[in-house]
């Protein structure tokens, strides 16, 4: 029998919202050759489509640890499916200086830089910023969120005008 967090996650992959985004080519779960050897729950890899930018990929991958999924936010870095390692900083997406995009995809200035996205949907930076939970305008992960919320949030940033490319 699967652990409760994995059962919940897998049920969320069946949600119409997840399937619709996947059918539209906005995101998908990586399986098979795109994964490092011995990848197993609670580790999963997703790709998210990005707006066309010269010299930049059409999608970015994120390697998530979903331990405690449902009650705990996901956490993880951008991922290189070719090297099967954390994406090199030089390949992380760049944003307009000072933009929300640039802050979320930053690779410096916080304790989990390069290991997580600087956002309250990510467990690691959220642990550094407990005050985020009480700020009313911040979209903080709660038990009512699903993997769809995570993917929508970051994929929409990758499609935004603040995304400059690589």
CA 41 centroid distance within chain: 16
Q: What is the pLDDT along the chain (166 residues), one digit of tens a residue?
A: 899 999 999 999 999 999 999 999 999 999 987 787 788 999 999 999 999 999 999 999 999 999 999 999 999 999 999 999 999 999 999 999 999 999 999 998 888 888 999 998 889 888 888 888 887 767 888 899 999 999 999 999 999 999 999 8
> Cα Rg for the chain, rounded, in angstroms?
15
The domain segmentation of the chain, as residue ranges, is: 4-21+42-165
Q: Could you give the count of Cα atoms lying within 13 Å of 1 in the half-sphere of its Cβ? A: 2
Alpha-carbon torsion angle 137, 142, 148, 150, nearest 10: 60
Nearest residue to 163 via CA among 40, 60, 65, 28: 60
pTM of the model: 0.93
């Amino acid at each position: 029998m699967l652990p409760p967090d994995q059962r919940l996650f897998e049920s969320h992959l069946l949600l119409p919202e997840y399937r619709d985004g996947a059918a539209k080519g906005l995101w998908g779960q990586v399986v098979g050759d795109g994964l490092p050897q011995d990848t197993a729950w609670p580790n999963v890899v997703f790709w998210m489509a990005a707006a066309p930018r010269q010299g930049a990929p059409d999608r970015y991958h994120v390697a998530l640890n979903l331990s405690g999924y449902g009650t705990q936010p996901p956490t993880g870095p951008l991922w290189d499916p070719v090297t099967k390692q954390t994406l090199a900083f030089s390949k992380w997406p760049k944003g307009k200086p000072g933009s929300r995009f640039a802050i979320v995809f930053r690779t410096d200035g916080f304790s989990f830089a390069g290991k997580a996205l600087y956002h309250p949907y990510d467990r690691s930076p959220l642990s550094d910023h407990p005050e985020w939970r009480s700020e009313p305008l911040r979209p903080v992960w709660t038990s009512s969120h699903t993997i769809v919320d995570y993917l929508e949030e970051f994929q929409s940033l990758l499609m935004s005008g603040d995304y400059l490319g690589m």
